[in-house]
Amino acid sequence: MMEVLTSFTFIVVAAGTMILAFAGGMVGAISVMKGQSLIGDAVGHATFPGIVLAFMLIGVKETYTLALGAVLFGIIAFLTIQMITNHSKVTLDGALALVLSSFFGLGMALMSFVQGNPDFEGTQGLNDYIFGQAAYMLRSDVYLITAASVISLFILAAFYIQIRIYIFDPVFSRTAGINNTLMNFIILIITILLISVGLKAVGAILIVNLLIAPAVIGQLWSSRFSTVLLIAGSSGAFAAFTGTYISTAGENIATGPAIILTLSFLMALSLFCAPKGIIRRNIYKRRMGGVS
Amino acid sequence: MDGTIITIKDLNVAYQDKPALWHINLDIRKNSRTAIVGPNGAGKSTMIKTMMKLIRPVSGSIEIDGRTDKGVLKNIAYVPQKGEVNWDFPATVLDVVLMGRYVHKGWVKRTQKKDRDIALEALKTMKMEAFCDRQISELSGGQRQRAFLARAIAQDADIYVMDEPLQGIDITTENLIMDVIRKLQAEGKTFIVVHHQLNTVKEYFDHVVIMNKTIIADGPTDAVFTGDNIEKAYREKGVGV
C-alpha cells in the first residue's frame, strides 16, 4: 500500500484530482441549489470542441492553451443557451440538450478530421479529454488545477454573503442592492473555469458528476449553507483520493470513472442513511402517523 | 405625517410586445396602508416590481421619497410572493431574517451581535422566536410569511412593499400580520400591499388603488372603494388586451 501512496504518479494525480474535486464540490453545490445543475453538463460537453480547435491552432497539446480553448467554448456555449432561451420559445432543458449535443458533435467531427489528417501529429491524446485520463496528468496540469481552484474559491469567499442571498431570494437580493447579473456571471465563470481545467482528469462526459454528486451528498447531510458547501467539497476530495488509489493499485481501472464510482457510492449511502435520507424520512413519517 | 412618498408619472410597461401597464399616474401617501386591488392579470405585481426597479418600464418615471436612484431601494422592505423563493435552500429562520440586515452592512462585513439582537426582536414581533433555528423548508405557509415579514422588520425600512402577504395563510397569522402592520404604521411606516380579498379591504386598509392595466381609481378607501369602481375594474377588460 505504501508503495502506491508514495509513487510519483499517485501523488501528482491524487493532488490534482483532490483539489479539483474539492473546489468543484463547493462551486457545484451553488449551481445545484440554484437549480442549474444541467448547465454544468451542457458546458462540460461543449468545452470539447474548444480543446480540439486549440490543438489545431497550435499543433501541440499544451496544457494552458487547451484549457483556454475549453473556457472560451464554455462561455460561447452558455451565451448560446441564453440566446436560445431569451429569443425563442425553446425552454431551458431543450436549449441545454441542443447545445450539449451540437457542440459535442462539433468536437467529435473536428477530432475525426484531425486524426485522419497527416498535417496534424500527436492527435491520439485528444481522446483523453472525452473520457479523462488522469494517469497521464502532468505537473503543469496540477499547477493549472491548483491555480484555477484557488482563484475559484477565493472569488466564492469574496462574494459568499451576496451569493447566498441571491440564490435564496433573487428578488430580495436585487432590492438589497446586490447585482444579480454579476452574481450569476461569477457562478458561471468559476464553474466553466473548473470544468475546463478538470477535463483531462475526468473527461467532458463525466465532469458534471464532480459538480453535482458532492452537492447532493452535502444537502442530504446538512441544513446549513456553509456546512453543505464544506461537506460537498470534502466528499469530492475524499472520493478523488479513494478513486485515484483504487485506479493506481488496481489494474485497468481508469481514474476518472473510479472517482465517479466512489462518489456514486457515497451518494447512494447518503441517500439511505443521511439525516435527510430515505430511511430517516420514513421513520419520521411513521412517528408522525403518516403514510410511509 | 401627510404628503406623498411615491409618485408615479405616466408609467408604461410592456412584456415583449404586450402592454402590461398603461399611463399609470399615481401618488402613494406617506404613512398610509395602501391596498392594490384588481383582477388577475391586472398588472398589480408588475407595478410594484417596476417600483422596485425589477422591471424596466417603457416610459415614465417613479419617484420614491423624492429620489429616482437605486440607493433609495434600501429604504424599501420587499416581501415577495411565497412562490418566488427557493424553499429547499439550506437556511434557518434566523438566517433568513438576518438577510434583512445585509442592507445596512454592505459588502463583506459579517453580521454582529447587534444585528442578531435586531433579528431576534423582529422574530419576537412576529411570534416566531421559538422557530429561529428551524429549517425554512419545514415551515407552514403562515410561518413562512411571518419569517418574511420579520426579515422586512429587521431591514428597518420606512416603506414596506408586500405582494399578496395574506394569500393562503391561516387566520391567526392574518390577524397577527395586520396587527403588526397597524403598529408599524403608528411608528410612521408606509405600507403598499397587493391584496386579493375584496371583503377585507375596508377593514384592513385606509387607502386603496383599484387597477386593471391602468388606474381605475385611487384614494382613501371610504371614498374610492365603491361598487362602481370595483365593477369597472373587474368587468372591463384591460386596455390594449
Q: Shortest CA distance to A235 belongs to which of A201, A197, A271, A199?
A: A271
A124 burial via Cβ count (<10 Å: 0-12, 13-18, 19+): exposed
A283 within some domain: no
Is the Cβ pair B99, A158 closer than 8 Å? Answer: no
What stretches in chain A show pLDDT beneath 50?
A: 291-292
Cβ-Cβ contacts under 8 Å, B54 against chain A: 171, 174-175
A223 within some domain: no
Please give chain B's pLDDT, 241 residues, in tens. Answer: 458 999 999 999 998 778 899 999 999 999 999 999 999 889 999 999 999 888 899 999 999 988 888 888 888 998 888 777 888 899 999 999 999 998 887 655 677 888 999 999 999 999 999 999 999 988 988 999 999 999 999 999 999 999 999 988 899 999 999 999 999 999 999 999 999 899 999 999 999 999 999 999 999 999 999 999 999 898 865 444 3
- For A250, how many CA atoms within 13 A lie in the half-sphere containing its CB? 12
Cβ-Cβ contacts under 8 Å, B15 against chain A: none
Q: Which three cell numbers stand for residue B95?
A: 438566517
Please give the C-alpha separations between residue A194 and each of A27, A208, B22, in angstroms, as whole numbers.
Answer: 9, 10, 47
Distance CA A232, CA A214 (A): 4
- Residues on chain A bordering chain B, Cβ-to-Cβ distance under 8 angstroms: 33-35, 158, 161, 165, 167-172, 174-178, 219, 222-225, 227-228
Cβ-Cβ contacts under 8 Å, B82 against chain A: none
- State how far residue A117 is from chain B, nearest Cα, in angstroms: 49
Report which secondary-structure segment, H or E, holds B195.
Answer: none
**Which one of A168, A175, A228 has the shortest CB-CB distance to B86?**
A168
Distance CA B82, CA A281 (A): 25
A268 within some domain: no
Q: What are phi and psi of A173, to 5 degrees?
A: -65, -35
* Res B74: pLDDT: 85
Evaluate if pTM is beyond 0.90: no
Residue B231 domain boundaries:
1-65+191-241
- State how far residue A109 is from chain B, nearest Cα, in angstroms: 38
Cβ-Cβ contacts under 8 Å, B49 against chain A: 171
* Res A263: pLDDT: 96
Residue A103 domain boundaries:
2-208
- The domain that holds B227 is classified in CATH as 3.40.50.300
Distance CA A156, CA A166 (A): 13
B137 within some domain: no
User: Mind spelling out the 3-state secondary structure of chain A?
Assistant: CHHHHHCHHHHHHHHHHHHHHHHHHHHHHHHHHCCCHHHHHHHHHHCHHHHHHHHHHHCCCCHHHHHHHHHHHHHHHHHHHHHHHHHCCCCHHHHHHHHHHHHHHHHHHHHHHHHCCCCCCCCHHHHHHHHCCHHHCCHHHHHHHHHHHHHHHHHHHHCHHHHHHHHHCHHHHHHCCCCHHHHHHHHHHHHHHHHHHHHHHHHHHHHHHHHHHHHHHHHHHCCCHHHHHHHHHHHHHHHHHHHHHHHHHCCCCCHHHHHHHHHHHHHHHHHHHCCCCHHHHHHHHHHCCCCC
Close Cβ partners of A45 (under 8 Å, ≥ 6 residues apart): A100, A101, A103, A104, A107, A204, A205
- Give me the residues of B, 44-63, that contact A with CB < 8 A: 49, 52-54
* Res A133: pLDDT: 83
Close Cβ partners of A288 (under 8 Å, ≥ 6 residues apart): none
Chain A interface disruption, residue of B54, B89, B133, B145, most A CBs within 10 A: B89
B16 in contact with A at a CB cutoff of 8 Å? no
B230 within some domain: yes
- pLDDT tens digits along A194-240: 999 999 888 888 899 999 999 999 999 998 999 999 999 999 999 99
**Number of residues that this document lists for chain A:** 292
- State how far residue B64 is from chain A, nearest Cα, in angstroms: 14
**Which one of B76, B105, B110 has the shortest CB-CB distance to A175?**
B76
Is the Cβ pair B95, A225 closer than 8 Å? Answer: yes
* Res B109: pLDDT: 64
Secondary structure of residue B176 in the 3-state scheme: helix
DSSP state, residue B221: H
The count of domains in chain A is 1
Cβ-Cβ contacts under 8 Å, A174 against chain B: 52-54
Nearest CA in chain B to A219: B90
Q: Which three cell numbers stand for residue A60?
A: 501541440
- State how far residue B201 is from chain A, nearest Cα, in angstroms: 26
- State how far residue A219 is from chain B, nearest Cα, in angstroms: 8
- The domain that holds A90 is classified in CATH as 1.10.3470.10
DSSP state, residue B108: S
* Res A3: pLDDT: 77
* Res B241: pLDDT: 39
**Which one of A161, A174, A222 has the shortest CB-CB distance to B54?**
A174
A245 within some domain: no
Q: What are phi and psi of A250, to 5 degrees?
A: -85, 175
The count of domains in chain B is 1
Between strands B190-194 and B33-37, the pairing is parallel
A272 within some domain: no
- For B151, how many CA atoms within 13 A lie in the half-sphere containing its CB? 29
List of E strands, B73-221:
76-79, 159-163, 190-194, 207-212, 214-220
Is the Cβ pair B85, A168 closer than 8 Å? Answer: yes
Distance CA B223, CA A82 (A): 49
A13 within some domain: yes
Distance CA A253, CA A260 (A): 12
Is the Cβ pair A223, B92 closer than 8 Å? Answer: yes
